[in-house]
Structure 1
């Protein structure tokens, strides 16, 4: 009986070995296929990420250009405001000078009117015979 069992055990071992080899071969093929698919997916993802990065770089470059243009525009506006302030200061200085001259003229006219009134009274008054 021992011999029968050992033959059966050898046959079972051989069958198990053949099945294991088939399973190993199938697993190897699946692994290669999966590996190929993973590599393709990885490559596609890298390409997608690279494309997104280039898009981000473009956006960043556009933002940088936009900020630079705004900075230049702001500088131009500040320069225009400084020039306008300079013209306003000059106009205020001239207006102040003109106001002083007007006040002087008003004062002089007032004195002339008083003098004319005084002189007119004296000329309109009958003269005392001397």
Structure 2
């Protein structure tokens, strides 16, 4: 009796201990200009779309850092890693004169807690 109870307890624990959270879908995120940087060569505006409010400022700074280092390819996927999460998205760069607009579109956020949020609203580029 004691052995069968321990085996059942062990199997129950194994069944639930490795449970991975299913992705959560979100349709509404924050859209807006997060960072405006001026230099001698012009002005760069970093905007985020479909972003999560808690991390939008930190992500905008990381996008700007990647832009300064020429790590962004227009229209290609970009992964941003911050303390609380890993963000997957796409950057679109538009230039007009000395003004450069870098638009980062969130597609998926993998939080440190294991929660995964995927954007499924209407994406406009």
TM-score (norm 2): 0.23
Structure having the higher Rg: 1
Structure with the higher fraction of residues in strand conformation: 2
Task: With a CA cutoff of 8 Å and minimum separation of 6, indicate the structure with the bigger relative contact order.
Answer: 2
TM-score (norm 1): 0.22
Structure with the higher fraction of residues in helix conformation: 1
